[in-house]
Amino acid sequence: MSDERRKIMRVLSGETLTPPPVWLMRQAGRYLPEYRETRAKAGSFLDLCYSPEHAVEVTLQPIRRYGFDAAILFSDILVVPDALKRNVRFTEGHGPEMDPIDEAGILALKLDGVIAHLAPVMETVRRLRAELPAETTLLGFCGAPWTVATYMIAGHGTPDQAPARLFAYRYPEAFEHLLMLLADISAEYLVAQIDAGADAVQIFDSWAGVLGEREFEAFAAKPVARIIASVKAQRPNARIIAFAKGAGYQLKTYRQKTGADAIGLDWSVPLAFAQELQKEGPVQGNLDPMRVVAGGNALQSGIDDILGHLGDGPLIFNLGHGITPQADPANVAALVERVRGWRR
């Protein structure tokens, strides 16, 4: 299904491209006036995620503006707990909320109907693949089980996921059950996205950084490995990027432990360490999103530093975390221009 012209697919297969392909996490977002306009028409945030018409539109907006090498499906990692009937709400200025789950709730979770609930997402993927330029990689995604579980247990975001860490210590069996169940439904969800037309998928473990060593192994690496093994068993050509934000030193063995094709790097990952990780395969990252807000020399020197350290190996240029609402769209244009102009 993939196209030789899709640069990100070539990097995901281990090729080094000069200049590297580029996309930005949360590139369809509030920093774009056209996004804010569509968002205002769409109803709730979840309505936007479940509306193929609007979700396609906001996914395409940054492609039209900047010609990024990848479009990433517009959706949210919390559509999975929503499909699991956890009553997910996005209230303006509050962050996501849902009904917190307990041991009994975990044992009562049912996977029936989850993928059917997510059918509009797959419809979005289908329409996107039809509308995107042939050279643009289409990325699907899901949240990693640990990160999704932190929200399900606390019922909302927290600074260090203390509720989920505590729950895992107190109820290790129920917690393991939750992670494995999320891994299985996530694998099914990613396969459905691939079948609908996603070229590759990314697994976001945004809260991997708050875990101790054994917990990182058991709660972050192991469930992600389970997803990847399952997806690859079903779709052997699938390409998967795993992004464990804040994992620091643990990234050393993350690729080998999970089987991911590429490793996402947050902006705190030192570039000498990133070079070590790149010796074993493609990496993606890792500009501080605040450099895009600052612009000017902070933006240029940050880009040059990454290209200088990682440009001679398989690299997908990206931010180290999602772009923020206060980023100036002109700075994003400058970013793309500078990456594309490298060694040209």
Active-site residue numbers? Answer: 26, 30, 39, 76, 151
293 makes contact with a second copy (CB under 8 A): yes
Residues 6+ apart with CB under 8 A from 321: 25, 245, 266, 267, 289
- Min dist CB 288 to a second copy, Å, is 5
DSSP 60: H
Residue 204 dihedral angles phi and psi, to the nearest 5°: -95, 115
Q: Of 108-116, 203-211, 231-239, 334-342, which segment contacts a second copy by CB under 8 A?
A: 203-211
Q: Given CA atoms 237, 281, 312, 322 in this order, what sign does their dihedral have?
A: positive
Question: What is the arrangement of strands in the sheet containing 70-72, beginning at the earlier edge strand?
Answer: 70-72, 137-143, 200-205, 239-244, 262-264, 283-287, 315-319
Show the binding pattern over residues 169-188: x = contacts a second copy (CB under 8 A), - = does not: xx------------------
Q: Single out the residue of 50, 146, 216, 317 in contact with a second copy (rule: CB under 8 A).
A: 216
- How many beta carbons lie within 10 A of that of residue 173, not counting itself? 10
- Using the minimum distance from each CB to a second copy, give the nearer residue, 107 or 169: 169
218 makes contact with a second copy (CB under 8 A): no
338 makes contact with a second copy (CB under 8 A): no
- Using the minimum distance from each CB to a second copy, give the nearer residue, 18 or 301: 301
- Min dist CB 91 to a second copy, Å, is 18
- Give residue 137's Cα distance to chain centre: 14
249 makes contact with a second copy (CB under 8 A): yes
Q: State which H helix or E strand residue 239 sits in.
A: strand 239-244
Q: Of 6-14, 85-93, 178-186, 208-216, which segment contacts a second copy by CB under 8 A?
A: 208-216
Q: Single out the residue of 119, 180, 271, 334 in contact with a second copy (rule: CB under 8 A).
A: 271
Show the binding pattern over residues 294-313: x = contacts a second copy (CB under 8 A), - = does not: x---x---x--x--------
Q: Of 76-84, 145-153, 244-252, 310-318, which segment contacts a second copy by CB under 8 A?
A: 244-252
162 makes contact with a second copy (CB under 8 A): yes
Side-chain-side CA neighbours of residue 259 (13 Å)? 15
Judge if the upstream peptide bond of residue 286 is cis by omega within 30 degrees of 0.
Answer: yes
